Amino acid sequence: MTSISKNLEQHDQAILKKSEAKKKLTTKTAIGEIVKYTLLIIITTSFAFPLFWMISSALKNDPQIYTIPPVIIPIPAHWNNFFEGWTRLPFTTFTINSIFRYTVPVTLATVASSMLTAYGFSKLKWPGRDILFYLCIATMMVPWQVTMVPLFITFRNLDWINSYRPLVVPSLFGAPYFIFMLRQFFMGLPEELSDAARIDGATEFGILFRIILPLSIPALSVVALFRFVGAWNDYLGPLIYLNEESLFPLALGIQRLRVIATSMGTSANAYPHLMAVSTIVAMPIILAFFFAQRTFIEGISLTGLKG
DSSP conformation letters of the chain? -HHHHHHHHHHHHHHHHHHHHHHHHHHHHHHHHHHHHHHHHHHHHHHHHHHHHHHHHHT--HHHHT-SSPPSS-SS--THHHHHHHHHTTHHHHHHIIIIIIIHHHHHHHHHHHHHHHHHHHT---TTHHHHHHHHHHGGGS-HHHHHHHHHHHHHHTT-TTSSHHHHGGGGG--HHHHHHHHHHHHTS-HHHHHHHHHTT--HHHHIIIIIHHHTHHHHHHHHHHHHHHHHT--HHHHHH--SGGG--HHHHHHHHHHHHHHH-SSTTHHHHHHHHHHHHHHHHHHHHHHTHHHHHHHHHH-----
pLDDT of residue 53: 86
Q: At what angle do helices 270-291 and 250-264 cross, to 10 degrees?
A: 150
The answer as to CATH 1.10.3720.10 being correct for domain 88-302 is yes
pLDDT of residue 107: 94
pLDDT of residue 304: 46
**What's the pTM?**
0.80
- Alpha-carbon distance 271 to 67, whole Å? 13
pLDDT in tens, the chain (307 residues): 455 555 545 555 555 555 655 655 577 677 777 888 888 889 988 888 888 888 888 888 878 877 778 778 888 888 888 898 898 889 999 999 999 999 999 999 999 999 999 999 988 888 988 899 999 999 988 888 888 999 999 999 999 999 999 999 999 998 999 999 899 888 888 888 888 888 888 888 888 888 888 888 888 888 998 899 899 999 999 999 999 889 999 999 998 888 877 776 555 667 888 889 999 999 888 888 777 777 666 655 555 444 4
pLDDT of residue 6: 53
pLDDT of residue 206: 87
pLDDT of residue 97: 95
CA 133 vs CA 60, 140, 142, 157, 210: distances in Å: 53, 12, 15, 30, 25
Domain positions in the chain = 2-58, 88-302
- Alpha-carbon distance 81 to 56, whole Å? 11
DSSP conformation letters of 79-117? THHHHHHHHHTTHHHHHHIIIIIIIHHHHHHHHHHHHHH
Other CB atoms closer than 10 Å to residue 10's CB: what's the count? 10
